[in-house]
Structure 1
Amino acid sequence: MNLRDIAQWDTRALQAVQRSLSVRAATIRLVQDGLADIGRLPAWHDDAADAARRRFRIVADDLSGEAAAIVVVEKLTGDLVDAVTHLKSELDGLREAAAAHGMALSDSGDIAEAPGPPVDTSGAARREELRAAARALILQAEDLVADAAAVLTRAADGAAEPGEADRPGTGLSAPAPPPDGSPQDNREYWDALPAAQRREVIEQHPEWVGDRDGIPSAVRHEANVSRFDKERSRWETERDRLREMLDRNMFGGAFTDDDAELWYAEQKLRDLDDLEKLVRDHPDGRLMLLDLQPGERTMAALAIGDPDTADHIAVTTPGIDTTVASLRGMTEEAAALKAETERQLDLAGRTSDTVSTIAWLGYQPPTTTGPGNYDVPFIDQNLGRGWLLDSWQSDRATAGAPKLASFYEGLDVASQTPDPHITALGHSYGSYTQGLALHDAGPRQPVDDAVFYGSPGFDANDESDLGLAPRHGFVMRAHDDPITVADGFGRLGPDPVQTDLEQLSVREAATPDGVRREDASGHSEYPRPSGNGELRTSGYNMAVIVAGIPELAVR
């Protein structure tokens, strides 16, 4: 298959076939009804009548098989009309987008410069977007052909059954997303699916899209929420299995990991309860991640507001000892940040700008709870390790950074806003993970601004190390934040307050909007409202940066 094949598909011919099959199916039903009526004629009870009824049943059975085949093929044809119409529309839009940027699509999906002067200076990134979209259309077309061939073969072989067309999983089936696809690949995969197959994926394969970056946030939310019951059943079964194994073992879990695994299974069930309640309490939220892999902590991400339509998006990455139980507090902080950002935008006269703030726990930060080395490798729990010691371990951040970088890119790719303003907010160990993620962003850096607060280090000295424009990286640290002890060793990079990034104040201040704000002290107060309900100076600073007006920040 290639793009020319898609363009030349004749939907009118398909519609004509569908109409013909519909007439044929109606005729067969009429004949079947007539045979049934004849068989029920009153006072017709002799041997000849019985023989005729037997022949009628044979004919009716033959007609039933033919009718089943016709109905299946008729449904297939209708589905093909919808799917091909969608593909042709997507192809037309793709060609228009290519032409608008001075490029042309070949039949194979390759991208070439159109004749004339260049139109778009961001050529490489744009070419990759168009190429991914073309590849997704071709793959979807090939899947349609394969599904249609399978249905037609079943019908021709007489394998179609009455009622088969009404059962899920028959006819055209949605293909799986590309394995290890980039956020751009994922977005193009979703765009290439017709509406019926999108619905099939959400209802029958929610795990395909719930955690996949680049998929629209509303889709991810619906898919993830629909998994609650299945995940709960799975972890209840695992919990009961482990309990039974421990009960049968005379040594309990002394010589196995079964007791540790049981602890995590029970924790997963508590996490599900917390997440279900959190989603219920935030009807405007979007659950963009739900990952309950065995042997690890639950990972999740909740957006307040719609990141797909927001002009300004903030992503907060937390640090040591953050678990799903902490996500409620993070979500409340995200809601407060969203409200303050909207207020600052209103004061700046940008009342139409929209905001989404996201609490992202898409990695496994070190923790000081749990039964053992699932939590912090290389450090024995019995040594009495503390969170400060754990903050020096880089393995969790190294593992989490690519996931965070992909999440940033996915927000950019899924956005309906041409160039959303994305701000990365990293606290404590999360700021180190954030710094590594910004290193990994590649040539198309989706993040515009980054704030590092309560940071032990982020392996960078200035914005260029992070792929940011000058004066778009910011640091905040309270005077009595104990993370200062970790900073002094340089294990995770230069001391943040000694870097060339913009240093912002966290002290008590009257901010430019006329509000008297309290200072932040210790390690955790930066994003939290103070006793008077207002965000502290640190929270205000984050809000104006998320709003894209960093000149109002307090230095």
Structure 2
Amino acid sequence: MRRAAKNHGTNRGTHRARESDHRTRGRRPARVRRALTALVLTAAVVAGTAGWAAGSGQVPVTGPPPGSAAWVADTSLGRALPDPASATPGQVAAFFRSLTPGQRRDLAERHPSVVGNLDGAPLTLRYAANATALRGDARFAHLAGPGRRILAFDPRGRGQVAEVFGDLERSRRVAVVVPGSDIDAGSYDRARDPLGTPAGMARALRAAAPGTAVVAWAGYTTPLGVGLDAATGDLAEAGAERLARLTGGLAAQGVAAPAVFCHSYGSVVCGLAAPRLHARDLVVLGSPGMRAGTVASLRTGARVWAAKDPSDWISDVPHVRFLGLGHGTDPASPEFGARPVPASDARGHTGYFAPGTESLRTFAAIARGDVR
């Protein structure tokens, strides 16, 4: 009888275990549904300014600039020219220092698309080369207006451009603005929602921090609208390489280490580039995540700041990372460890640079180096 009772108890325990397992299996679909819902919402990281439009897959522009084959084949100097595909910004800078002013001008006139995009080349030479390249481009010739300082111009794909506001060579304080989605050479300076564009953000920052030179950098292939591009890091990885080269080129020309301001999906780019960036401050705003769990995991010596206003829809996007989707911890959360930027009076996803806001005042203080 005792053995029968013992067996009965065992059977009852086994039955309870089976019931528990059945209930657990019943809950699994709910957990899976919640996870899938989070991933679908994560895929809605528009991370830019165009809203909830349908997105499409983008192929990142990579590799050396147009005209590189002719540049490499050029033997006019009796020696090899630095290969745009492999030369470091420091090597490029050293090469141009070895040339006479006439030799530099000649190369810029014959190879404007290469010299204009060659990180490490003299800044004024790049401006002149890009003006030449733009005047011959039907889509973007308007960017070659008088007095404009175009630091980079690549017509491939949707087009990429970087413009300097201020005197980059002489300014003691420098900033770089990195945009999010839906930005290219045709939209980086648009009248609609200007504070959601790198040119508009750069102008606002320069007005709030006079004397600071600001680079509006639309130098990578951004996602378009809602889609997997915005929820994954593929485009950001390609952009991170280009952003790191940009700051390396500025450093090679003796430009002060910049404060880098990264909006929305641009903060994913900055997070991946962080270990290689020549920057003194890294400021993210309206960020879906930086592909890092904490400031320490960014492996950067720059000070890291984060801003997110209460009305920014980015708060509705799950800060998760699973199977390649999502960008991880919210940089504005306490556990991430970034320095907070007050943004309670900013409005929406593109209101951080609005005149009179506390966020813009703080950005200006960071750009000027007035905060410790």
TM-score (norm 1): 0.49
Whether the 8 Å contact between 1:174 and 1:200 is mirrored in structure 2 is no
Whether the 8 Å contact between 2:230 and 2:265 is mirrored in structure 1 is yes
**Pairing 1:524–2:345 present:** no
Q: Give a deviation string over 1:352-402, Cα, whole Å, max 9, x none.
A: xx421011011001013xxxxxxxxxxxxxxxxx36x65212111011110
Aligned to 2:66: none
Aligned to 1:61: none
Aligned to 1:124: none
Q: 1:173 Cα shift?
A: 6.2
Q: How many Å separate the matches in 2 of 1:538 and 1:307?
A: 24
Aligned to 1:433: 269
Q: 1:220 Cα shift?
A: 0.6
**Pairing 1:543–2:364 present:** yes
Secondary structure of the 1:302 match is strand
Q: How many Å separate the matches in 1 of 2:268 and 2:312?
A: 16
Aligned to 2:155: 292
**Pairing 1:335–2:203 present:** yes
**Pairing 1:315–2:171 present:** no
* One-letter amino acid of the structure 1 residue matched with residue 234 of structure 2: D
- The counterpart of 1:202, out of the listed 103, 108, 129, is 108
Q: Give a deviation string over 1:77-124, Cα, whole Å, max 9, x none.
A: xxxxxxxxxxxxxxxxxxxxxxxxxxxxxxxxxxxxxxxxxxxxxxxx
What are the residue-to-residue correspondences of 1:341-490 with 2, within 5 Å?
Answer: 341-342=209-210, 354-368=211-225, 386=226, 390-415=229-254, 420-439=256-275, 441=276, 445-469=277-301, 472-490=303-321
Q: How many Å separate the matches in 1 of 2:94 and 2:318?
A: 43
Q: How many Å separate the matches in 1 of 2:207 and 2:232?
A: 35
Aligned to 2:137: 231
Aligned to 2:332: 497
Change (3 A) 1:317 1:458: same
Change (3 A) 1:494 1:332: closer
Q: How many Å separate the matches in 2 of 1:204 and 1:323?
A: 26
Whether the 8 Å contact between 2:90 and 2:120 is mirrored in structure 1 is yes
* One-letter amino acid of the structure 1 residue matched with residue 306 of structure 2: V
Q: How many Å separate the matches in 1 of 2:300 and 2:259?
A: 11
Aligned to 1:120: none
Secondary structure of the 2:224 match is coil
Q: 1:202 Cα shift?
A: 1.5
Change (3 A) 1:484 1:447: same
Q: 1:480 Cα shift?
A: 1.8
* One-letter amino acid of the structure 1 residue matched with residue 271 of structure 2: G
Aligned to 1:255: none
Q: How many Å separate the matches in 1 of 2:113 and 2:351?
A: 36
Q: How many Å separate the matches in 1 of 2:279 and 2:262?
A: 13
Q: 1:274 Cα shift?
A: 4.3
Larger Rg: 1
Whether the 8 Å contact between 2:104 and 2:125 is mirrored in structure 1 is no
Whether the 8 Å contact between 1:316 and 1:360 is mirrored in structure 2 is yes
Return the structure number with greater helix share: 1
Change (3 A) 1:487 1:303: farther
Q: How many Å separate the matches in 1 of 2:339 and 2:142?
A: 37
Q: 1:313 Cα shift?
A: 1.1
Q: 1:184 Cα shift?
A: 0.5
* One-letter amino acid of the structure 2 residue matched with residue 290 of structure 1: F
Q: How many Å separate the matches in 1 of 2:346 and 2:201?
A: 14
Whether the 8 Å contact between 1:487 and 1:494 is mirrored in structure 2 is no
Change (3 A) 1:230 1:326: closer
Q: Give a deviation string over 1:237-270, Cα, whole Å, max 9, x none.
A: xxxxxxxxxxxxxxxxxxxxxxxxxxxxxxxx2x
Secondary structure of the 1:212 match is coil
Q: 1:462 Cα shift?
A: 3.7
Change (3 A) 1:446 1:488: closer
Whether the 8 Å contact between 1:366 and 1:396 is mirrored in structure 2 is yes
Whether the 8 Å contact between 2:209 and 2:365 is mirrored in structure 1 is yes
Q: 1:225 Cα shift?
A: 0.5
Q: 1:452 Cα shift?
A: 0.5
Secondary structure of the 1:359 match is strand
Q: Give a deviation string over 1:256-304, Cα, whole Å, max 9, x none.
A: xxxxxxxxxxxxx2xx04423xx43xx2x420111012xx110110011
* One-letter amino acid of the structure 2 residue matched with residue 356 of structure 1: A
Whether the 8 Å contact between 2:319 and 2:327 is mirrored in structure 1 is no
- The counterpart of 1:325, out of the listed 167, 178, 186, is 186
Aligned to 2:7: none
Q: How many Å separate the matches in 2 of 1:323 and 1:208?
A: 19
What are the residue-to-residue correspondences of 1:109-188 with 2, within 5 Å?
Answer: 175-179=80-84, 180-188=86-94
TM-score (norm 2): 0.71
Matched pairs, number: 285
* One-letter amino acid of the structure 1 residue matched with residue 152 of structure 2: L
Whether the 8 Å contact between 1:292 and 1:298 is mirrored in structure 2 is yes
Whether the 8 Å contact between 2:306 and 2:338 is mirrored in structure 1 is yes
Q: How many Å separate the matches in 1 of 2:329 and 2:204?
A: 31
Unpaired segments ≥5 residues, structure 2? 1-74
Q: How many Å separate the matches in 2 of 1:543 and 1:408?
A: 20
* One-letter amino acid of the structure 2 residue matched with residue 335 of structure 1: R
Q: 1:311 Cα shift?
A: 1.1
Secondary structure of the 1:398 match is helix
Q: How many Å separate the matches in 2 of 1:229 and 1:300?
A: 14
